[in-house]
A and B are shown apart, each in its own frame.
Chain A
């Protein structure tokens, strides 16, 4: 279980936030809220880009605060810069296996396998600029999968997608979370995404998690 325990964070001279939430394996939590409510701050705290002033973040009962971002049990899909636009699909995914960017035969086979699982077989040499919005998201999800981390964070994953593709990616996220027993946190400004994902919904307001309700 991912547990965010009484975590407090304040930007110098800016707003302050307080978060407490828990996500079990196999569960999706959708966090919604207005701009500036602290959604992306929570993602940055869990990923390790920000250090909390107080509180703890734990995975399976052990604190992950001292770990570098790449060492945390977390894979994230960012709203901006989810793929390296100048690298092909294979290298984008292979960096999840080997961050030195020198994938061997075994890694290349693993990339091809995960692409097939994502219905993207044969896309290895494609450049991100030649992918549709939905295909980009699936490539980013494929990289998250090969990293084999138990926590998945998705920051506004549907914001650039049409309705049909939103449903398609939401179903994929749901399936992967179920099959791999992931603890998945989806940040979205759109409250309807919780229903689309069949997830538990939390709302952020005034810098705090204000609502816990099952959808």
Chain B
């Protein structure tokens, strides 16, 4: 019985760890012939490395500031409805394709964007300097990560016990005391983990920097690897840069491991506490909240609106007659569905194996082997997509036609890169129902397929629905490994969008962006509802 529960998870874990190990090994072998110290003396590489750290740090700080301000404003003013809207916005940012967001940011903040037009109409000078480069990268990273931070911080504020708010109101705390004695203790617990997560996401960011970076002066290691592999076809340099990126990621993870990684604040209701907090009516708080709303609208809401409006004005009707679009749409849909199904199957198997392994030894547990399945579900947080793609390419080069295998390679990458999130989404609930029902199932003889069908699937379907929807949406919007393997024969919508915007076919690009946005959202909503059932998303 125990073997049957462990075998699929072990197979999945060995597959995931093996592929990552093989890719890293291939990169290591290729990098062996390159002088790493000479590489580090290269001014371009040093500049790119420094920029990678700098933009990640600045993005984290800006996301932290805006996210915290939004969370406090929503908690002070908006109540449970505002919390739901915030969660929706965070989910939207989670599944929004990076290519689409980049186009939206250009439409608002670019030279001919809304801000420049508004400034010209008012006779004011437009935004100083160009969008491309550090400003564009920061705007894009804040667009994605400020809502995530806001959601985490709002959950922390909502989880503060009502009694503490009652006390604050009774003592007549001003805004500063509310922050110091009530909010800060809750925020302090989740902030290090949230900042660490955002820093890592920005550090390994690829598509946004590719589209909004500004040449060698504003490029990251991920983009440098892509350029070496795809544009210069200098595989030795790509491999060496990949090793450098892996070392930097490992160093970042080592530093982050020193901070608490807890950024799940639990479920709060933002009920009584939000209504009685004493700083609601303070003039300073009202001004701060209004300014926060204005900034959030400009940074997050305006690019979203620009995507929708730009797409509607663009050549939507002409798209279906374009064979390249039809092919890319079909590839994206198939990849999204396949990626979702395979990711969920692997995640379920790994979570089931982990649940069994951590049981007491007398109940069939094997705590010594937990490390293997944990490695399978975390390794892809530390191996960036481009490094993994370069590794796959180097591994298969000479053995197979990598471009003919492109659909499979992109699918594998999408599955494995979504795996950490999918495993985390379901493993807690699976462990919980195991602890609750293991003995009852054993005493009734409910096992195997009957247990999966009757006990586990109904109990975890909400979490499985979220994992399936997330995997599908991430796959549909991904511009990572496809950037290495995309060709005229194999295109996805994000890749086609990138090609069109690079060729200044902005009308078609805007239309594709709208379709891609709609597809990602539809996948997220429909798959979550189909798999997760009527309680999905609650």
Interface residues, chain A, with chain B CB atoms under 8 Å away: 11-12, 44, 47-51, 68-71, 74-76, 78, 80-82, 84, 86-87, 91, 95-96, 99-101, 147
Contact = CB atoms under 8 A, between A and B. Distances in A.
Contact of B444 (A11, A12, A48, A96): A96
Interface stretch (B40-48, B226-234, B318-326, B451-459): B451-459
21 contacts: A47-B442, A48-B443, A49-B439, A69-B439, A78-B439, A78-B440, A80-B436, A81-B437, A81-B440, A82-B440, A84-B455, A87-B454, A87-B458, A91-B454, A96-B444, A99-B445, A99-B446, A99-B450, A101-B446, A101-B450, A101-B453
B442 A95 contact: no
A84 B442 contact: no
A12 B440 contact: no
Contacts of A86: 458-459
Contacts of A101: 446, 450, 453-454
A50 B444 contact: no
A95 B458 contact: no
Q: Which 7 A-B pairs have the closest CB atoms?
A: A70-B445, A81-B436, A99-B445, A69-B442, A86-B458, A101-B454, A100-B450
Contacts of A84: 437, 440, 454-455
A51 B363 CA distance: 10
Contacts of B362: 11, 50-51
A99 B451 CA distance: 9
B361 interface: yes
B447 interface: yes
Contacts of A99: 444-447, 450
Q: Secondary structure of the B side of the interface? A: helix
Nearest to A99: B445
A196 B446 CA distance: 33
Contacts of B361: 12
Given A84-B454, A87-B458, A91-B454, A47 B443 contact: yes
Q: Pick from B443, B444, B445, B454 the residue with the most CB of A within 10 Å.
A: B443
A74 to B, nearest CB: 7
A74 B443 contact: yes
B442 A49 contact: yes
Contact of B443 (A12, A75, A80, A91): A75
A95 B454 contact: yes
Interface in B426-479: 436-437, 439-440, 442-447, 450, 453-455, 458-459
Contacts of B454: 84, 87, 91, 95, 101
A57 B454 CA distance: 32
A157 to B, nearest CB: 14
A84 B450 CA distance: 13
Nearest to B459: A86
Interface in B107-127: none
Nearest to A81: B436
Nearest to A11: B362
A54 B363 CA distance: 18
B458 A69 contact: no
A71 B442 CA distance: 10
Contacts of A91: 454
Nearest to B445: A70
B442 to A, nearest CB: 4
A95 B450 CA distance: 10
Contacts of B453: 101
Given A78-B439, A99-B446, 19 more contacts: A12-B361, A44-B439, A47-B439, A47-B443, A51-B362, A69-B442, A69-B445, A70-B443, A74-B443, A80-B436, A81-B439, A84-B440, A84-B454, A87-B454, A95-B444, A99-B447, A100-B450, A101-B450, A101-B453
Contacts of A51: 362
B316 to A, nearest CB: 43
Contacts of B446: 95, 99, 101
A84 B444 CA distance: 12
A76 B443 contact: yes
Contacts of A147: 444
A74 B442 CA distance: 12
Nearest to A43: B439
Contacts of B447: 99
B459 to A, nearest CB: 6
B119 to A, nearest CB: 57
Contacts of A75: 443
Contacts of A47: 439, 442-443
A82 B444 CA distance: 11
Contacts of B363: 49
Contacts of B444: 70, 95-96, 99, 147
A84 B151 CA distance: 33
Nearest to A47: B443
A47 B444 CA distance: 11
Nearest to A82: B440
A181 to B, nearest CB: 21
A87 to B, nearest CB: 7
A98 to B, nearest CB: 9
A14 to B, nearest CB: 10
Nearest to A153: B443
Contact of B442 (A12, A70, A87, A96): A70
Contacts of B455: 84
Contacts of A80: 436
A76 B441 CA distance: 11
A205 B348 CA distance: 43
Interface in B396-441: 436-437, 439-440
A51 B360 CA distance: 13
A213 B472 CA distance: 65
Interface in B290-347: none
A42 B445 CA distance: 20
A188 B362 CA distance: 24
A4 B181 CA distance: 59
B436 to A, nearest CB: 4
Nearest to B363: A49
A199 B67 CA distance: 63
A84 B439 CA distance: 12
